[in-house]
Structure 1
Amino acid sequence: MKTIDLSELNLEELIFLHGELPKYINKARKAEKLALKEQMEAMAAEAGFSLDEIVNNKNKTQIGFVKAKYRNPDDFNKTWSGRGKKPKWVQDYIGDKGTLDDLLIIL
């Protein structure tokens, strides 16, 4: 991994960079996830299967459980399923820093 020298940046530039990082991290995660999925699909097809046939597990979900869809970039313990009223941290983030898409959990 290459090192980036941030010592020349002033406080305003560092704060801006801090706010922009979650967007770039999410974009990079999406790209890596897509590339990995394509590799896995190719491997499954080579063996005569679809990826869904290999990874589909009907016992994964629980009745009444909704997986988190959004995560607070400042506190990863705070998540939201996207259902019901937006939590305060979501409202604050959207009002101050960015969009709801920036908070998407990429798996």
Structure 2
Amino acid sequence: MTSKQLEAINLEAFTDQELDTLEKRVAKERKRRDRSRIEEAEREIRLVAAKYGIKLEEALSDLNGRTGPSRRRVPPKYRHPHDPDTTWSGRGRTPRWIQEWEQQGGSREELRIAH
């Protein structure tokens, strides 16, 4: 469809419900096309990687500046006082259970895991 043909569509003639339906169909089609392009790109990249005898994951990890296939996990520093399976590494956002512990007068040091 040319841009003149698109301009010729009288959107004012559509009801709100018809415009909503059209908008949803356009969004769905865009997602389908994006997914299709991503899948095709991945196929092509895998073929190139295979040509050089490497796995795609290895090539991508090298591009990201990492030498290993996955990130190293940080050991936990704090343990939940009532649920020993719940821990926190001390990095990132403070978990709610630690915030609640401190609000009730507890010390973070009381939750520290002895190493």
TM range (shorter): 0.3 to 0.5
TM-score (norm 1): 0.46
TM-score by length of 2: 0.43
Would you tell me which structure has more helix in proportion to its own residues?
2
- Higher normalized strand content (fraction of residues): 1
More contact order relative to length (CA 8 Å, sep ≥ 6):
1
